[in-house]
């Protein structure tokens, strides 16, 4: 769905570990295999070492599904640690976050391995400063994280090099294969682990046979959505076998094949629908190609709001609601309203702002975005000189640092309405508007309908000037 270079970087984000460095906490039989749909009650708690200064605040628990995190619970932190109430959980990747969404660590739950997970935290920055002594799954994952960091560093050096694009891709493919083999060997050394199973399936065993590409995945196993396995395999398949050069419906056929596999389990099918919908939409946002919006509509019309799966799948109200958000970001539709305080403490209501102006521009930007800071100062001069035109701009910042945001706004005379939630791409407004890059623009009319999604400030200025 993205260019090959970006794809290779993405696919490296979830594999592996060193088998010779791992010591087992559960004796896995040599012939044992991972039990699908592993599910059971698990108690997750944490202990702080004496060097940890966490004395108050909250610890949040998230469930990871594909590339997204969903909050499950939160508890108060004491000087000794934290303790979540027992939950019925599927095997998968989970996350704890201390007080914010950046100080986090990811870990593996497998109810068949342990029903008591104790996270020993040794530093206030918790991402790597932890140990889960009673879990082979997490010994594997922690070693994987170390290997991944090494591979990522090598990838960065390749990207910055003066080598040709083809040479960069070739070298990155070698690293990706090395990482996959590393994880696959780990699974062979420790059969029966959830994380090893995930790693061993990151590459298809029928990689060069399109119609058998997913034959090695058990789509009836709901634990596969609690990792990056399916997003990686889906993206690989769609990119490799869309056959768009010979068949204008190649992407549609790829979607249909994936859904034919996925429909055996409603939960997995919904995950696949949303993952593809989200991927196509984000690709369209960054590329500007209308083909991706057409593919979004195909998924929504054929599978979510239509009858593409026949009687096999009955999409949930939640999935329909999430899909409606995508529909409402198209030209002619009405997006989500919001109400928030601006940089001066004044209340901003999007719907009311639209009523009071012929056009209202939603502009998503960030002070750390080089492209934004190249375009916006000049655009601010134009805005300040054309206040007589019947339009307003709401600048939605993706900054995390309040002082830097305020300084950038004031020093560049960004005199439009300025708001910020200080959660970068995870802010509620950014999530509602599916923002994946900056700057991004939406032009709304007085009825709050989207009339244009310009790709630059030049296109935006041209529209506002010619539509007085």
- Looking at the fold, whether 254 and 289 belong to one and the same domain comes out as yes
Whether the predicted pLDDT of 419 surpasses 50:
yes
| pLDDT higher than threshold 60 for residue 400 | yes
Q: What is the mean pLDDT of the chain?
A: 89
DSSP-assigned beta bridge partners for residue 271? none
Residues 209 and 310 reside in one and the same domain: yes
Instruction: Answer yes or no: is pLDDT of 160 > 60.
Output: yes
Residue 198 gets which letter from DSSP? H
CA gap 92, 25 in Å, rounded: 18
Tell me how far CA of residue 411 lies from CA of 223, 241, 293, 385, 407, in angstroms: 50, 50, 38, 17, 6
Q: Side-chain half-sphere of 214: how many Cα atoms within 13 Å?
A: 26
Q: 369 and 462 share a domain?
A: yes
> Mind listing the pLDDT tens digit for each residue in 277-333?
999 998 887 776 789 989 999 999 999 987 655 556 788 898 999 899 999 999 999
349/438 same-domain check: yes
300 and 260 within one domain: yes
Q: Same structural domain for residues 181 and 170?
A: yes
41: domain CATH number is: 2.60.40.180
Predicted TM-score (pTM) of the model is 0.83
> For position 310, what pLDDT does the model report?
53
In a shared domain, residues 243 and 307: yes
Burial tier of 422 (Cβ tally within 10 Å: 0-12, 13-18, 19+): middle
Segment 7-27, tens digit of pLDDT: 444 344 333 333 333 333 454
Whole-number percent of the chain with pLDDT over 90: 73
Domain assignment present for residue 333? The answer is: no
Q: Determine the pLDDT at residue 16.
A: 35
Per-residue confidence (pLDDT) for residue 146, from 0 to 100? 85
195-252: pLDDT as tens digits? 999 999 999 999 999 999 999 999 999 999 999 999 999 999 999 998 888 888 899 9
Inter-residue contact 192 to 32 (CB < 8 Å): yes
pLDDT score of 22: 35
pLDDT digits (tens, 9 = 90+) for 52-71: 988 889 999 999 999 889 99
Average pLDDT value for residue range 349-357:
96
Structure tokens belonging to residue 192? 């029966």
Same domain, 246 and 262: yes
Same domain? For 154 and 21 the reply is yes
User: Could you identify the residue written with the tokens 């918790």?
Assistant: 126
Q: What's the CA gap between 33 and 154, in Å, rounded?
A: 33
Better-scored residue on pLDDT, 159 or 288: 159
Of 345, 340, 292, 333, the closest CA to residue 448 belongs to: 333
Residues 253 and 365 in one domain: no
Beta carbons of 436 and 285 less than 8 angstroms apart: yes
**CA 191 from centre of chain:** 29
- Give strand pairing partners of 68: 65
| Separation between Cα atoms, residue 361 and residue 47, nearest integer Å | 48
Domain boundary among 327, 358, 374: 327
* Residue 21 and residue 146 in one domain: yes
**CA dist., res. 373 & res. 261, Å (int):** 46
Mean pLDDT of 131-152: 89
Read off the pLDDT of each residue in 429-454 and give the average, rounded to a whole number: 94
* Residue 191 vs residue 15, higher pLDDT: 191
Residue 6 maps to a domain: no
Percent residues over pLDDT 70 in the chain: 92
Q: How confident is the model at residue 95 (pLDDT cuts 50, 70, 90)?
A: very high
pLDDT recorded at residue 445? 96
Domain that holds residue 181: 15-25+135-194
In a domain? residue 150: yes
Number of domains in the chain: 4
User: Token digits for 79?
Assistant: 């000087």
């Amino acid at each position: 769905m993205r260019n090959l270079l970006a794809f290779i970087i993405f696919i490296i984000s979830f594999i592996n570990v060193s088998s010779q460095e791992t010591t087992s906490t559960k004796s896995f039989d040599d012939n044992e295999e991972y039990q699908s749909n592993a599910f059971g009650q698990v108690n997750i708690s944490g202990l702080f070492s004496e060097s940890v200064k966490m004395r108050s605040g909250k610890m949040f628990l998230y469930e990871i599904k594909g590339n997204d995190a969903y909050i499950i619970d939160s508890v108060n932190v004491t000087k000794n640690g934290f303790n979540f109430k027992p939950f019925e959980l599927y095997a998968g990747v989970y996350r704890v976050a201390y007080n914010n969404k950046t100080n986090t660590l990811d870990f593996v739950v497998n109810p068949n391995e342990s029903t008591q997970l104790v996270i020993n935290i040794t530093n206030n920055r918790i991402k790597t400063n932890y140990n889960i002594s009673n879990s082979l799954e997490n010994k594997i994952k922690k070693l994987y994280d170390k290997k991944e960091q090494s591979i990522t560093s090598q990838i960065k050096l390749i990207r910055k090099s003066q080598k040709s694009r083809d040479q960069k891709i070739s070298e990155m493919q070698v690293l990706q294969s090395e990482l996959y083999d590393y994880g696959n060997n780990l699974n062979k050394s420790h059969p029966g682990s959830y994380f090893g199973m995930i790693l061993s399936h990151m590459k298809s065993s029928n990689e060069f046979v399109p119609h058998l590409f997913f034959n090695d995945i058990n789509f009836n196993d709901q634990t596969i959505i609690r990792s990056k396995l399916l997003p990686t395999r889906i993206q690989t398949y769609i990119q490799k076998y869309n056959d768009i050069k010979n068949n204008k419906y190649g992407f549609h056929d790829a979607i249909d094949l994936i859904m034919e596999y996925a429909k055996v389990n409603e939960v997995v099918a919904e995950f696949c629908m949303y993952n593809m919908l989200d991927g196509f939409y984000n690709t369209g946002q960054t590329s500007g190609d209308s083909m991706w919006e057409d593919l979004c509509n195909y998924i929504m019309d054929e599978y979510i709001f239509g009858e593409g799966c026949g009687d096999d799948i009955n999409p949930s109200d939640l999935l329909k609601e999430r899909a409606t958000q995508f529909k409402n970001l198209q030209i002619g539709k009405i997006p989500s309203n919001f109400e928030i305080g601006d940089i001066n403490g004044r209340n901003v209501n999007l719907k009311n702002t639209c009523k009071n102006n012929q056009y209202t521009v939603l502009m998503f930007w960030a002070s750390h975005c080089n492209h934004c800071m190249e375009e916006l100062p000049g655009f601010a001069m134009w805005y300040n000189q054309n206040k007589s035109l019947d339009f307003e701009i709401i600048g939605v910042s993706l900054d995390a640092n309040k002082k830097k945001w305020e300084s950038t706004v004031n020093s560049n005379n960004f005199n439009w309405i300025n708001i910020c939630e200080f959660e970068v791409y995870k802010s509620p407004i950014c999530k509602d508007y599916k923002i994946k890059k900056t700057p991004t623009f939406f032009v709304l009319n007085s009825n709050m309908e989207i009339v244009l999604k310009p790709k630059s400030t030049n296109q935006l200025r041209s529209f506002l000037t010619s539509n007085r």
